[in-house]
Amino acid sequence: MVRRLREERGASAVEFALIAPLLVLLVIGIIEFGHAFQVHGQLSAAAREGVRAMALQNDPAAARAAVRQATSTLDPAVTDAQISITPAACPLTGGSTTVRLTIDYDMPFLTGFLGAGLDLSGTGVMRCNG
């Protein structure tokens, strides 16, 4: 019995060395997915805020400012080039036209272990003039 224990000495360390990289990769994947999920939710909320400002005020600058305010915690920050508004202005009279605001954001990964980053977007649609 003592001889058998000596032969298996260190087996658990070898098994742990084989499994540890997979566990670390799994934890990093969970962290990165959680971060991407949080950023996507923030982009969607910011798009709704921006499209609301555009639909009520008919001012693309105010809509972009609302988006930048709602995404102020993102690093890197959202720029005006990443925000697209269609149509550029709501018609003052006429039917029920809708305005669409889309934010395209290149989210860098926290660790850089899984690659450079991920392309995320948030979209908001609202009827013009309330």
Domain that holds residue 90: 2-127
Do the Cβ atoms of 116 and 108 come closer than 8 Å? yes
Q: E strands along the chain, which residues?
A: 83-86, 98-108, 117-127
Identify residue 44 by its one-letter amino acid code: S
The pLDDT value given to residue 12: 87
Dihedral sign from CA coordinates of 62, 67, 69, 72: negative
Q: Is the pLDDT of residue 98 over 70?
A: yes
How much is the pTM?
Answer: 0.83
Instruction: Give the C-alpha separation, 10 to 20, whole Å.
Output: 15
Q: What is the pLDDT of residues 26-76, one digit of tens each?
A: 999 999 999 999 999 999 999 999 999 999 999 999 999 999 999 999 999
Split into its structural domains, the chain has a count of 1
